[in-house]
Structure 1
Amino acid sequence: MIPSGKNSLLLLFILVCNIAGAQNLFNAENSKKFARYLESTRQYKLAAVEYERILSIEKTDPAIYTGLLKNYRMGNICENSFQNLNQLQVNNFFSDQNVASEYLKLSLSCNCCYEKNYFSDALSSVSSREKTFYKLGYFLFTEQKDSLSKFTYNNLSLLSNSYPTVLNKIENIESFKRKSPGLAMAMSAVIPGSGKAYSGYWGDAVMSLVFVSTNAWLSYRGFSKKGVKNANGWIFGGISLGFYLGNIWGSGKSARTYNQIEYEKLYNEAKNSIYSHF
């Protein structure tokens, strides 16, 4: 049955309305609501994809760039994110402090792309207090120890008033006293295991002392009974010497391990303190 002309027009009208309604679902305003919903439910990667899609429709709203940057950061999306931001020319919106601030947070979170002009451009758009905070984070995350120490000293008043917890964590890093591998080895050369005890490894220290002294005693016992021709004396003497030399080398390694573990602990505490202000 061939539909009449009126029926054809009615079907065409319904089809057009359905298409228009479907298109309306994906307009910029509805897409923003959906992106915010994804963000509120901690689906940061999907939210970032949605914000990227919105920017293909509307490129003039700074809030969209802020949302994209925030979800890149919250979703720990570092790979290719800065390349996308370059293509989107996010720097054109750094006059908006929210955009600039989120870009700086993302740079620190990813510990990436400081060499680009974008980082310094974003710094110039935030308040002097925030600028000090982000510069401090930059020196900390890039482990520029001398610059960090000098910058902290020059901005001590502002940091102590605005970021006391961060300042405290950084001061802990600067006051950290490393163990000397050379001293640890020298100590263990005199008293086996003492260098490991110096580095806080008391269990290893006791084991080193026991192994070296026990085998040395067994070697002495063998030689005292049958003289230098006694095989047991040489065997236990060789074992004791091996443990003794290993104890010296291990003491130096223990000091280096202690330094690495303790420094990383303090460094991570300082980083987390920075993150807590994001």
Structure 2
Amino acid sequence: MRILVLLFISFATFGQDIFNYENSRKYGDYLLKSGQFELAGKEFERLVYFAPDNDTLKTNLLRAYRLSNQTSLGIAKLPVLYNNPSKVPFSSALEYAKLQMQNQSWSAARDFWNQNENFSADDKVLLNVTSDIFNNNFKEARTTLALIKSTDNELGVGYKSILEKETHKKSPGLAALMSAVVPGSGKAYSKNWKDGIVSLFFTAGMAFQSYRSFNKFGVNNHRGWIYGGIGLGFYLGNIYGGVKSTKDFNRKKINALQHEASALFNTYY
């Protein structure tokens, strides 16, 4: 009987030790670092309840929501954690901004960080440039980036390089003109060499067959008109294809630049 009592006391003491604040905080940190983000969120919810003034816990809670893709839950949680959006501490504010960006709520994100007092002027510039880049507003991004005070800022320098690359796009109008003069050249202009060569040979082949038929059988022979009609279809399609190929090239380029911007942003912040 005495042994049972001792065991009960030991387990009770052990249980209390497991669930004390410090051990719970360490467990929450472990869950976050080990990638168990949803469980980490539940643990930090409990911790924030017991320590409502701890900003580090609030930041980790918002981070757990973001990394577990519970974006809407994280966005809805901020007003519960902080009464005044403009006073949210930097770390929690950054996590909330990332949640809004992850939710593609760009307008709400910009309103939040522009009014928050704990983001520096350069932070606001960089965040606004990030928003512009992901919304394809590259002209606005260049104008905004010029407002940065620290010209050697790592993220600012990276964004400047991205914005310079964006100017080297292909012109759909030039592709159409090139395709009209030399079939297939518009596609080749956008690095689509294989389709360009196919367009050139098919269009030229149909034109040659049409000329040959007219020359051999006269203009009233149906063969020449059939070959000519097919050739005209290839010719017009080649112009459209040149424009489309150039637009596809530019879209892939923009996607690559946005991916690069995302990597820079996540490394910096």
Q: CA RMSD in A?
A: 3.0
| Partner residue in 1 for 2:263 | 272
Counterpart of 2:176 in structure 1 is 185
Aligned counterpart, 1:65: 58
Q: Corresponding residue for 2:163?
A: 170
Aligned-partner Cα distance in 1 for 2:212–2:229? 14
Q: TM-score, normalised by structure 2?
A: 0.83
Q: Which runs of 5+ in 2 are unaligned?
A: none
**Residues 103/158 of structure 1: CA separation in 2 closer, same or farther (3 Å cut):** same
2:187 is the counterpart of 1:196: yes
Is 2:37 aligned against 1:30?
A: no
| SS of corresponding position for 1:42 | coil
CA offset at residue 46 of structure 1? 2.2
Q: Is the 8 A contact 1:185 1:249 kept in 2?
A: yes
Partner of 1:104: 97
Query: 1:143 and 1:91, CA in 2 relative to 1: closer, same or farther beyond 3 A?
Result: farther
- Correspondent of 2:48 among 55, 58, 63: 55
The 3-state SS of whatever aligns with 1:192 is coil
Structure 1 residues 98 and 252: alpha-carbon distance in aligned structure 2, compared to 1, 3 A threshold? closer
Distance 2:47 2:59 in 1: 12
SS of the equivalent of 1:160 reads coil
Shift of 1:246: 1.0
Aligned 8 A contact 1:170 1:270 in 2: no
For the 8 Å contact 2:85–2:112, the answer to whether it is kept is: no
1:243 equivalenced with 2:231 (yes/no): no
The answer to whether 1:43 aligns with 2:36 is yes
Deviations 1:173-231 (A, max 9, x none): 3xx13323233222222221122222222211111110011112122222222223434
Once residues 118 and 253 of structure 2 are traced to their aligned partners in structure 1, the CA distance between those partners, rounded to angstroms, is 37
TM-score for both structures, normalised by structure 1 = 0.80
Q: Which residue of 1 aligns with 2:244?
A: 253
Alpha carbons 1:73, 1:106 under 8 Å: kept: yes
Would you say 1:120 and 2:111 are equivalent positions?
A: no
d(CA) in 1 for partners of 2:45 and 2:88?
A: 20
CA distance in 1, matches of 2:6, 2:229: 98
Q: Indicate the SS of the match to 1:56.
A: helix
Percent identity over the alignment?
33
Q: Deviations over 1:122-181 (max 9, x none)?
A: x311344434433332333344434322121222x51434432233223333xx133232
- C-alpha contact 2:66 2:74 (8 A) present in aligned 1: no
Q: Which runs of 4+ in 1 moved over 6 A?
A: 9-14
Query: Is residue 145 of structure 2 the alignment partner of residue 152 of structure 1?
Result: yes
Deviations 1:59-109 (A, max 9, x none): 121110111123334444423320123333375794533323333344444
Structure 1: give runs of 5+ residues left out of the alignment: 1-6
